[in-house]
Structure 1
């Protein structure tokens, strides 16, 4: 049974897949859009083609590893082997409507769920965010760090709807942020929103429902940049607050007051 993995090799494979996926997404022509669970939950041929290729490459490179994907579910690995999580196109609605804000997300987690490696690629800007646990966060190979801001006022706060809907506490939180002159953006890709905190562009981000396939890689990248996550490792469908270190207390107070999460982040 496999208990360890060469993370440098895994990152090499993952970044190669990210480069291939970015080129594929950029070069894709209009394809049929099919509905999944609801009219706001859609899939394209590109989503499926990218995930199939990723599964093939990972299966050959790491045959004992598990894989969990957005489009094709779970492939079990060996008992003590890690598991890959992949979202081939995070932000399918943007992609399907010709809006250049979506991403490719790929990560690796230990059997206990601890994130080991994360890659998030922005096909439209030629940016690839990467992290290995304990090794810091990088953007196109250059180290990045969360912002040194000490207040939310005047800065960016990114969030996402839960598919087409506001999540509990979201409206209250947005009103409180507005009162502090903190500019909120809903961009349409969970992975890209979270890594903007890692890059120091956004001071904080929040999502109402954490999903590992699009959230785990970006979460690791942000934490490796110095960002503070509450909770540190959310469970499926649990809310997540991610902040620059100097704004953690302020954001945590708004988060708690809005009643989003019963856990006190501070």
Structure 2
């Protein structure tokens, strides 16, 4: 395994072990609201510190962009680790077993490796640019689903920014017409990993953050999928808007949501952020 990817795996597993120590003690945790429908627990912060400590020891010249710690350090070699220590905090706090650790490494803005670790199922998803994507050493490929009939899609509601809800619901309505179903499980990182491994045929969401999606994007790309923003471009890290599936299904999904893409969705959303 690539040394940097191996170190990311080590950090993700360490954070996952820490998270699992608190699974049955959620009621004792200190929880702080960060914004509308957005919470952080002391587990999030501890897990991020654990990840940063492991990676910083190995790569002291690298910078970090974390959900809880923000930007840390100056990347002299243009390397930035993008970290979500607990994607699905609300699920975790409610005992809903759908959350994960997500770690990606960017070099000059390009995602080079990614790890998503589900500590509940002990499932490890990894990807290396040009080296493919795996789940526990099994090579991943997106599904060959070529139409909506029988397709299972994933999504996430724009719960932090209600201004986009009407556009989102219109997309949801039209995509739901002919599919086998749409799932909203509450962890974008795992949703993207599930597209990469074929558990979901496609996924879309409004207003994600870089740490929500960086690792998952590379997983899907290395598994043969297409990832774009809502205008079929590559500005998903800037806009926070993601549309992904295999090439054929992606085209159909794009045609379906395009009439509902408002001007506000064509530009960077206030809730989105990008690595500096």
The aligned residue for residue 244 of structure 1 is 246
The aligned residue for residue 57 of structure 1 is 54
Query: What TM-score, normalized to structure 1?
Result: 0.90
- Structure with higher helix content: 2
CA deviation after TM superposition for structure 1 residue 163, in Å: 3.5
CA deviation after TM superposition for structure 1 residue 65, in Å: 0.4
CA deviation after TM superposition for structure 1 residue 233, in Å: 4.8
The match for 2:219 among 199, 218, 221 is 221
Instruction: Quote the Cα distance in structure 1 between the aligned partners of 2:60 and 2:78.
Output: 10
Instruction: Quote the Cα distance in structure 1 between the aligned partners of 2:41 and 2:159.
Output: 16
Does the CA contact (< 8 Å) of 1:105 and 1:121 recur in 2? yes
Q: How does 1:81-100 map to 2 (within 5 A)?
A: 81-100=78-97
Q: Does 1:184 align with 2:182?
A: yes
Q: Does 1:44 align with 2:41?
A: yes
Summarize deviations over 1:83-121 as a string: whole Å, max 9, x none.
00100000000001111101100000012x110010001
Equivalenced residues, count: 255
SS of aligned partner of 2:236? coil
Query: What TM-score, normalized to structure 2?
Result: 0.87
SS of aligned partner of 2:237? coil
Q: Does 1:129 align with 2:125?
A: yes
The aligned residue for residue 19 of structure 1 is 13
CA deviation after TM superposition for structure 1 residue 128, in Å: 0.9
Q: Which runs of 5+ in 2 are unaligned?
A: 268-276
CA deviation after TM superposition for structure 1 residue 32, in Å: 2.1
Instruction: Quote the Cα distance in structure 1 between the aligned partners of 2:161 and 2:75.
Output: 37
Q: Which runs of 5+ in 1 are unaligned?
A: 1-6
CA deviation after TM superposition for structure 1 residue 78, in Å: 3.2
CA deviation after TM superposition for structure 1 residue 252, in Å: 1.3
CA deviation after TM superposition for structure 1 residue 146, in Å: 0.1
Q: Does 1:255 align with 2:257?
A: yes
CA deviation after TM superposition for structure 1 residue 135, in Å: 0.7
The aligned residue for residue 3 of structure 1 is none
The aligned residue for residue 35 of structure 1 is 33
The aligned residue for residue 4 of structure 1 is none
Query: CA RMSD, aligned part only?
Result: 1.8
Q: Does 1:204 align with 2:206?
A: no
Instruction: Quote the Cα distance in structure 2 between the aligned partners of 1:34 and 1:123.
Output: 23
CA deviation after TM superposition for structure 1 residue 262, in Å: 5.0
Larger mean CA deviation between 165-174 and 208-217 belongs to 165-174
The match for 1:171 among 158, 169, 172 is 169
Q: Does 1:77 align with 2:74?
A: yes
CA deviation after TM superposition for structure 1 residue 77, in Å: 2.3
SS of aligned partner of 2:238? coil
Larger mean CA deviation between 54-63 and 253-262 belongs to 253-262
Instruction: Quote the Cα distance in structure 2 between the aligned partners of 1:62 and 1:220.
Output: 21
Does the CA contact (< 8 Å) of 1:198 and 1:225 recur in 2? yes
